[in-house]
A and B are shown apart, each in its own frame.
Chain A
Amino acid sequence: MSFLQVLHNYQWDAISAAIQAKTGREVEIALQRAVRGQISLTDFQALISPAARPHLETMARLAHQQTLRRFGRTVQLFAPLYVSNECHNICTYCGFSVNNKIPRKILSEAELLREVGILKKQNFDHLLLVSGESNRKVGIPYFEKALRLCRPYFANLSMEVQPLQTDEYARLRESGLSAVLVYQETYNSEDYRKHHLKGRKADFNYRVETPDRLGRAGMPKIGLGALYGLEDWRVDSFFVALHLDYLERAYWQSRYSLSFPRLRPHAGGLEPKVEMTDRDLAQTICAFRLFRNEVEISLSTREAPRFRDHAMHLGVTTMSAGAKTNPGGYFDAEENHDNSSLEQFHVSDERPSPQVVAALRAQGYEPVWKDWDASYDSSARQQAAA
């Protein structure tokens, strides 16, 4: 059993039609059920539908209440660290695609530690390692080495890299990995094929079953998401909710985290099929918060300062800050080398982390740097035993 079997019970077009047909009355019922903690997937469809637009303020107020109860007035901060832009895939939306003629870079141990040093000066205690997909050059041995190098400096290590096998995830757990993010990009398998032209990522089924493999490996936290806008973001957000609902039942000991990368219209880039506006993004975040009170919701520096400074009131609980999305980017920025051409995506919130912290405080929120302890990972117990 995996999510693939669940997915086969749902037709993309039928879900799309159901969402479009939702009425204001159905939105009101969904909101009442959200208040009682009895929200269903059908209610979720109502909350992401066009019919819910006039109810956004009510949704936001409820989402704020529920976030406050579970997470308090805090936002957890983390930093991404891009270790490599090597990639064997061709994806229509991504700067790391193998057919893009850009210099490729894989951080050496010394370069990795240099990045770590800069992030530690900024107080970061939760680290997200990111790479393109290159199993040969940046595979399990590289990740094991990188995790063990970073382990002494951070309370929590997570990864956003190519999908791996169950036993590989279990191995990386032993090196101190405690969370993995893997975004499906789109749950529409036909459209998925159009955007993933070459490389292992072209295998839709393998990717969609990745969270199952993570669950079986006992990963403490699993991150889900779609590249909203690649297909109809409403339908994709329904499938993320369906995926979350399935995973929570199947792997009840893992925590889940959601992210909302969205495809923005910009010159020369891939145009979104259905644009997700700021208002749409706010609606989607609120809908997920009302669907699941306890899920972690993460917002990256893809979003602009104005949106990020208000997003904690809608349900966001986790943020990156001062992020660089090119390998070696933190060092380059300090030394004033401009390597922005190597960025995976353009960062909209370019404020250094102290400014993001000040903005959080101005909203009456406490930045949380540490919310995990290395002693909770088996790698620490092994070291102590040795």
Chain B
Amino acid sequence: MLRIADRTFNSRLLTGSGKYASGKIMAESLAASGSEIVTVAIKRIQFGKQEDAILSHLDRSRCLLLPNTSGVRDAKEAVFAAQMAREALGTHWLKLEIHPDPKWLMPDPIETLYACEQLANLGFTVLPYIHADPVLAKRLESAGAAAVMPLGAPIGSNLGLRTRDFVQIIIEQAQIPVIVDAGLGSPAHAAEAMELGADAVLINTALATAANPVAMGHAFKLAVEAGRLAFESGLPAANFSAQSSSPLTSFLD
């Protein structure tokens, strides 16, 4: 079971809702993935509209809606957008994303820490998207973050777990869940993060832009489960010691 703040989840696969060819395909893909936490960009939500292009396809009784602040550029904008979304959507859960750089969408560590402190004080359950920076992860933990979401690689890049060594340090030190977000481009990448001990992963581009997003949803579900099971089962260490025919230390015998 994955526990974040006061909620528990059976699935360790978080998903996004962007880039899908239609709301119907998104709904089917998410159902196949078994995901119980779906993030939606506040900027995409048509507040006050009956038939929202995304929300009308999400079953909120089955999965937690996690609004995100994608598109804001500083803490001030993030806090304002979060408060508006909380009121309109009736949830205090928030994926905090502040990327002032629209090219690589790299998270701003300074503004993110600042916003996280304020939002946690305002009663939000905050999941900040960050670079794989172990010190920042600890600082956010102290600031009241409910989980940290370090990136594996730039958003949408499908490059895989390029930040592996730093994510490992974050996992080792964390007292809150670590969710690897961004850059995971295949089920193998997701399994790798889970084997490393990540509490969960978030996938969007690799699912939404797959040739068959529904089958791919199932593939990610299996990969995340397999990776977690492998982590819990205690992976044997890789063995690099070649058996030399004349050992270098045999003269000591």
Residues in A lying within 8 Å of B, measured CB to CB: 68-74, 125, 155, 220, 248, 252-255, 294, 361, 364-366, 368-373, 375-376, 380-381, 384
Q: Are A366 and B23 in contact (CB under 8 A)?
A: yes
Contact of B103 (CB < 8 Å), options: A69, A294, A381: A294
Contacts of A371 in B (CB 8 A): 41, 43-44, 71
Q: Are A375 and B42 in contact (CB under 8 A)?
A: yes
Q: Are A370 and B43 in contact (CB under 8 A)?
A: yes
Contacts of A380 in B (CB 8 A): 80
Contacts of A253 in B (CB 8 A): 73, 100-102
Q: Are A370 and B156 in contact (CB under 8 A)?
A: no
Which one of B14-22, B129-137, B221-229, B237-245 is at the A interface?
B14-22
Contacts of A372 in B (CB 8 A): 43, 71
Contact of B205 (CB < 8 Å), options: A72, A220, A252, A369: A72
In this complex, which of A68, A69, A248, A375 has the most chain B Cβ atoms within 10 angstroms of its Cβ? A375
Q: Does B46 contact A (CB under 8 A)?
A: yes
A180 to chain B, nearest CB (A): 15
Q: Give bound CA distance, A220 to B71, whole Å.
A: 10
B218 to chain A, nearest CB (A): 20
Q: Give bound CA distance, A370 to B18, whole Å.
A: 12
Q: Does B158 contact A (CB under 8 A)?
A: yes
Q: Give 9 new A-B contacts, CB below 8 A, not counting A73-B21, A381-B76.
A: A69-B156, A73-B209, A253-B73, A366-B21, A373-B42, A373-B81, A373-B84, A375-B84, A376-B73
Q: Are A381 and B80 in contact (CB under 8 A)?
A: yes
Tell whether A73 pairs with B19 under 8 Å between CB atoms, given A370-B46, A372-B43, A380-B80: yes
In B53-88, which residues have CB < 8 Å from any A CB? 53, 71-73, 76-77, 80-81, 84
**Residues 137-149 of chain B, each 1 if its beta carbon lies under 8 Å from chain A, else 0:** 0000000000000
Tell whether A365 pairs with B21 under 8 Å between CB atoms, given A253-B102, A376-B72, A384-B80: yes
Q: Are B156 and A252 in contact (CB under 8 A)?
A: no
Q: Are A69 and B43 in contact (CB under 8 A)?
A: no
Contacts of B174 in A (CB 8 A): none
Contacts of A384 in B (CB 8 A): 80
Q: Give bound CA distance, A68 to B21, whole Å.
A: 11
Contacts of A376 in B (CB 8 A): 43, 71-73, 77, 81
Contacts of A155 in B (CB 8 A): 43
Q: Are B44 and A370 in contact (CB under 8 A)?
A: yes
A289 to chain B, nearest CB (A): 14
Q: Give bound CA distance, A381 to B41, whole Å.
A: 19
Tell whether A361 pairs with B101 under 8 Å between CB atoms, given A68-B209, A368-B53: no
Q: Does B208 contact A (CB under 8 A)?
A: yes
Q: Are A369 and B21 in contact (CB under 8 A)?
A: no
Q: Are B101 and A252 in contact (CB under 8 A)?
A: yes
Q: Are B20 and A72 in contact (CB under 8 A)?
A: yes
Contact of B20 (CB < 8 Å), options: A254, A366, A373: A366
Q: Does B45 contact A (CB under 8 A)?
A: yes
Q: Are A369 and B53 in contact (CB under 8 A)?
A: yes
In this complex, which of B46, B102, B156, B209 has the most chain A Cβ atoms within 10 angstroms of its Cβ? B102
Contacts of A255 in B (CB 8 A): 102
Q: Are A375 and B81 in contact (CB under 8 A)?
A: yes
Q: Are B22 and A69 in contact (CB under 8 A)?
A: no
Q: Give bound CA distance, A73 to B19, whole Å.
A: 5
Q: Give bound CA distance, A369 to B157, whole Å.
A: 25
Q: Could you list some 26 contacts between A and B, CB below 8 A? A: A69-B158, A69-B209, A72-B19, A72-B21, A72-B205, A72-B208, A73-B19, A73-B20, A74-B19, A253-B100, A253-B101, A254-B102, A255-B102, A294-B103, A361-B22, A366-B53, A370-B44, A370-B45, A372-B71, A373-B81, A375-B42, A375-B81, A376-B43, A380-B80, A381-B76, A381-B77
In this complex, which of A70, A248, A254, A376 has the most chain B Cβ atoms within 10 angstroms of its Cβ? A376
Which residue of chain B has the shortest Cβ distance to A70 in the bound complex? B156
Q: Are B72 and A294 in contact (CB under 8 A)?
A: no
Q: Give bound CA distance, A364 to B41, whole Å.
A: 22
A148 to chain B, nearest CB (A): 19
Q: Are B53 and A252 in contact (CB under 8 A)?
A: no
Q: Are B46 and A364 in contact (CB under 8 A)?
A: no
Contacts of B158 in A (CB 8 A): 69
A236 to chain B, nearest CB (A): 23
B22 to chain A, nearest CB (A): 5
Which residue of chain A has the shortest Cβ distance to B46 in the bound complex? A370
Contacts of B53 in A (CB 8 A): 366, 368-370
In B1-55, which residues have CB < 8 Å from any A CB? 18-23, 41-46, 53
Which residue of chain A has the shortest Cβ distance to B102 in the bound complex? A255
Contacts of B73 in A (CB 8 A): 220, 253, 376
Which residue of chain A has the shortest Cβ distance to B43 in the bound complex? A373
Contact of A373 (CB < 8 Å), options: B22, B71, B103, B157: B71
Contacts of A370 in B (CB 8 A): 43-46, 53
Q: Are B43 and A366 in contact (CB under 8 A)?
A: no
Q: Give bound CA distance, A72 to B19, whole Å.
A: 4
Which residue of chain A has the shortest Cβ distance to B185 in the bound complex? A69
Which residue of chain A has the shortest Cβ distance to B82 in the bound complex? A375
Q: Give bound CA distance, A76 to B19, whole Å.
A: 11
B166 to chain A, nearest CB (A): 22
Contact of A248 (CB < 8 Å), options: B22, B42, B103: B103
Contacts of A252 in B (CB 8 A): 101, 103
Contacts of B208 in A (CB 8 A): 72-73
B24 to chain A, nearest CB (A): 10
Q: Give bound CA distance, A196 to B209, whole Å.
A: 45
Q: Are B18 and A72 in contact (CB under 8 A)?
A: yes
A77 to chain B, nearest CB (A): 11
Which residue of chain B has the shortest Cβ distance to A37 in the bound complex? B157
Q: Are A71 and B84 in contact (CB under 8 A)?
A: no
Contacts of B205 in A (CB 8 A): 69, 72
B48 to chain A, nearest CB (A): 11
B76 to chain A, nearest CB (A): 7
